[in-house]
Amino acid sequence: MKPLAQDPTLNDFGHDPWWIVLIKVVVVFAFLVVMTLFAIWYERRVVARMQVRPGPNRNGPFGLLQSLADGLKLAFKEDIMPKLADKAVFFIAPVISTVCAFTAFSIMPFGPVVSLFGHKTPLQLTDIPVAVLLVLACSGLGIYGVVLGGWASGSTYPLLGGLRSSAQMISYEVAMGLSIVAVFMTSGTMSTSGIVAAQAGSDTHWGPITAPSWYAILLLPSFVIYFVSAIGETNRAPFDLPEAESELVGGFHTEYSSLKFALFFLAEYINMVTVSALCTTLFLGGWRAPWPISLWAGANSGWWPMLWFTIKILLLLFVFVWLRGTLPRLRYDQFMRFGWKVLIPANLIWIVALSGIKTLQKSDWDGTKRTMVVVGVVILLLIVALVWPSKKEPEKLTVADQIAARPDGSFPLPPLDLVVPVNPRAKRITASREEPVTVGAPDDSTGPKEA
């Protein structure tokens, strides 16, 4: 479909004066820092509400300045360098994570074309034909900061956290990339501004059915898989295996303190905001107002779209916090099995099904035939699912049958007539403790004394 007149296109970028570009850079930086401070307070308040307690409420109104106070406290803490650490890599690892987190947000569209000091400019720092791939690249490189931080610490637990993070990056990065393929197929572009423009309305018809405008509804499996993969990518509960304090002390950042630890902390929350903003752009209509606000003629013009964009991000952040306050941490084998055996196969099947639907849309069949084909395929899949041979539960044997089925002398069941001999050394020690101990000479007039 054709974008509206106010929607930015790739031709609108690269023509701004340097001072407008500088203003946009400062605004993006300030937005991420403020959102990080707010997200920390937001998370603590929401979790406190779930646990029926007040949460931070002392510093500032409603405790809003608590995050700022914690940040200043971290800045003035002592910076400790472990003796066995690789000093150069130990220093640069949190910088890599933070820089990649900031860079990924440069292609997020905040709104349409607006007038800024007399210049027409889109509310977006920049855009490129493969903008979404830039976000995936920054997300992948950001994990290297975690891996290198754990390796350079010169300690066992951070190393385990870094190794877990590398495996996590490989598995869930693949699932996240595959979930976005459906968006590319539907919108016909990898540009973030183009994807938002494609969700302005829909000219996709399937017989009597008109496809919805938001890809979260039209591409629901991709939306769910993307969000689950995003939680794994940002090391958030229940997928926070690289920093599992119950088994790895603090994970990859155990040896970090002061500003270096603050940079890791900042990168984690910026990544949460970034994946939420990308999810909003790809699946929730971007900066466009939801219904029924969209019925207002001026909802998607001017500076109002920044408000809708921010509200959508906050709603997705609430889901992050909700999951942390609800679900326990997975075991590592469950975590990897879920990524490789559930998310990736489901994604591949969905992409193949969507390709078939797209092929049918381009055929010469009318709407009734298309609808009949889709209904027939769904019925066929249901029949296959019903008649597919399920895995039979193994027959439960009695204890006697289990003992009879074991070979002689097998572990862990010892022979039932086994008699454990007494340790001769233990027997001598026991006997010596029971004998009376004589103190003094035998002919002592006072007689023997027992101890």
Q: Give the residue, 393 or 444, on which the prediction is more confident.
A: 393
- Percentage of the chain surpassing pLDDT 70? 83
Average pLDDT, integer, range 235-264: 82
Comparing 151-165, 221-235, 363-377, 408-422, the range with the smallest average pLDDT is: 408-422
User: What is the pLDDT, as a whole number, of residue 139?
Assistant: 84
Average pLDDT, integer, range 136-141: 86
Q: Which helix (H) or strand (E) holds 205?
A: strand 205-206
Q: Is the pLDDT of residue 269 over 70?
A: yes
- Over the stretch 191-211, which tens digit does the pLDDT of each residue have? 999 999 888 864 444 444 444
Task: Enumerate residues 6+ apart whose C-beta is below 8 A from 75.
Answer: 258, 259, 262
In this prediction, residue 423 has a pLDDT band, given cuts at 50, 70 and 90, of: low
Q: Give the residue, 214 or 418, on which the prediction is more confident.
A: 214
Token code pair at residue 215: 């890809």
Q: Is the pLDDT of residue 377 over 90?
A: no
Q: Is the pLDDT of residue 145 over 80?
A: yes
Per-residue HEC secondary structure of 214-240 comes to CHHHHCHHHHHHHHHHHHHHCCCCCCC
261 and 253 Cβ atoms separated by less than 8 Å: yes
Alpha helices in 122-155 (DSSP H): 131-152
**DSSP-based three-state secondary structure for 206:** strand
Average pLDDT, integer, range 248-254: 80
Average pLDDT, integer, range 322-339: 87
- Please provide the size of the chain in residues: 451
- Over the stretch 47-94, which tens digit does the pLDDT of each residue have? 999 999 999 998 889 999 999 999 899 888 888 888 888 889 999 999
User: What is the pLDDT, as a whole number, of residue 420?
Assistant: 64
Task: Give DSSP secondary structure letters for 75-119.
Answer: HTS-----TTS-HHHHHHHHHHHHHHHHHHGGG---SSEEEETTE
- Over the stretch 288-316, which tens digit does the pLDDT of each residue have? 988 788 888 888 888 899 999 999 999 99
Tell me the pLDDT of the chain averaged across its residues.
Answer: 82
Task: Give DSSP secondary structure letters for 361-404.
Answer: HTSS--HHHHHHHHHHHHHHHHHHHHHSPPPPPPPPPPHHHHHH
User: What is the pLDDT, as a whole number, of residue 201?
Assistant: 64
Q: Is the pLDDT of residue 449 over 60?
A: no
Residue 175 CA to residue 62 CA, distance in Å, equals 39
User: What is the pLDDT, as a whole number, of residue 389?
Assistant: 66
Q: Give the residue, 397 or 236, on which the prediction is more confident.
A: 236
Q: Is the pLDDT of residue 5 over 50?
A: no
Q: State residue 262 phi and psi, 5-degree precision.
A: -60, -35
> Among candidates 37, 212, 11, which has minimal Cα distance to 121?
11
User: What is the pLDDT, as a whole number, of residue 277?
Assistant: 94
User: What is the pLDDT, as a whole number, of residue 34?
Assistant: 93
Distances (CA, A) of 321 to 231, 242, 253, 315, 324: 11, 18, 21, 10, 5
Q: Is the pLDDT of residue 114 over 70?
A: yes
Residue 6 DSSP one-character state: T
Comparing 24-28, 179-183, 238-242, 417-421, the range with the smallest average pLDDT is: 417-421
440 and 449 Cβ atoms separated by less than 8 Å: yes
Residue type, 239: F
Residue 304 CA to residue 178 CA, distance in Å, equals 32
User: What is the pLDDT, as a whole number, of residue 204?
Assistant: 44
Task: Enumerate residues 6+ apart whose C-beta is below 8 A from 405.
Answer: 397
Q: State residue 206 phi and psi, 5-degree precision.
A: -130, 85
Average pLDDT, integer, range 393-420: 66
User: What is the pLDDT, as a whole number, of residue 284?
Assistant: 92
- The CA-CA-CA angle for residues 268, 35, 216, to 5°, reads 80
Residue keyed to tokens 């979790």: 47
User: What is the pLDDT, as a whole number, of residue 358?
Assistant: 82
In this prediction, residue 254 has a pLDDT band, given cuts at 50, 70 and 90, of: confident
Token code pair at residue 338: 């879920």
